[in-house]
Chain A
């Protein structure tokens, strides 16, 4: 993985510049929103954590109480009570229900317990200790209540932990990969466009230079022709053409046969 952020490979046109700019705006907005979501989730997370710690402590207490109640019941009703309880198990009367709650955009599971069917009261008619057994049962039902609540907290805790990690990963990705890449692309496109503009400008200037020189040359040649014409006109007015005067002069240097001297 290169340490340097690349830029996207695009054709450097004005349209692409608009497109990439729009994407950068989208990425920035998304980054801000995800950061807010991550903060909200972290707040929830810490709250749940505090509740979990306190609930676990009280659970320790309640389990102790339930154990005491059971020991009392055993003492009063005799050791065989364990077996009769075991034999008496058929279908569970205490069950849990789970549904999901939407907290800050994350689906968290929630458990409630409910009593399904009648609790078997056969044991309470035992010769000894029916009351102790009732008390023991009540203590254990209370501890189940607490344990179900704890289970809810724990699953929400784990789910939130996961969600926070994912969101933070996305925030970091946007911040350190996507946005720099888009910014590099934008500066690249701008650079290319500027260079094209400079090329165009240069070409324009060059062509203008050619045109000017062309014009200049034509003007000079026209001027020369015009001067010649004026000279010819003048000599014609004086009765000779410039051309014949020239011939006469040149012939004068040659020997004329008609002249005897």
Chain B
């Protein structure tokens, strides 16, 4: 009965971001951005020219990197790679869906909340039938 999944405890982990330009700018201003010696960043700016493949690759890279603890992803970007996000089941790094300027937060599409939709009554916020 040993723990099959070991929770990684780290003393300093980065916050990765996959979002639109404005959101990323704001977070960079707060000091979340990190560029290491090999010019690898912990964020990906998604605009109209970014392909789904690039987003997929970035997501996979961020979730396999050892030094990343949280991945923030805009909800409309998450919708583009919904299958990857839904099949992700490791506890660390944590995947968090954030709203963006043009797309307000929609709980019905959140991958975590949709997993427990059955627990909610039909009027609650997470069931999306407000």
User: Residues on A close to B: CB < 8 A?
Assistant: 46, 49, 52-53, 56-57, 59-60, 63-64, 66-67, 69-71, 81-82, 85-86, 88-100, 107-109, 111, 114-116, 119-120, 123, 133, 136-137, 139-141, 144, 147-148, 150-152, 154-155, 157-159, 161-162
- B41 at interface (Cβ–Cβ under 8 A)? yes
- CB contacts between A and B, total, < 8 Å: 157
Which of A59, A89, A90, A144 is within 8 Å of B105, CB to CB? A59
In the complex, the answer to whether B7 meets A158 with C-beta atoms within 8 Å is no
- How far in angstroms is the closest Cβ of chain A from B22? 6
With A52-B113, A116-B12, A140-B30 already in contact, 15 other A-B pairs whose C-beta atoms are closer than 8 Å: A70-B25, A85-B29, A88-B28, A92-B33, A97-B10, A98-B92, A108-B7, A109-B7, A139-B26, A140-B26, A140-B29, A144-B15, A147-B96, A151-B96, A154-B94
Q: Which residue of B lies closest to A91 (CB)?
A: B34
User: Residues on B close to A: CB < 8 A?
Assistant: 3, 5, 7-15, 21-23, 25-36, 41-42, 69-70, 72, 89, 91-92, 94-96, 98-99, 101, 104-105, 107, 110, 112-113, 115-116, 119, 124-126
Using A57-B125, A59-B105, A100-B9 as known contacts, say yes or no to A148 and B70 having CB atoms under 8 A apart: yes
Which of B21, B115, B125 is within 8 Å of A53, CB to CB? B125
Give chain B residues whose Cβ lies under 8 Å from the Cβ of A136: 26, 29
SS of A interface (majority) = helix
A197 and B129 alpha carbons, distance in the complex (Å): 70
In the complex, the answer to whether A159 meets B7 with C-beta atoms within 8 Å is yes
A-B contact pairs, 21 of them (CB 8 A): A56-B107, A63-B23, A63-B98, A64-B99, A70-B25, A85-B28, A92-B14, A96-B13, A96-B69, A97-B11, A98-B92, A107-B7, A120-B31, A136-B29, A144-B27, A147-B15, A148-B70, A150-B96, A151-B69, A155-B94, A158-B112
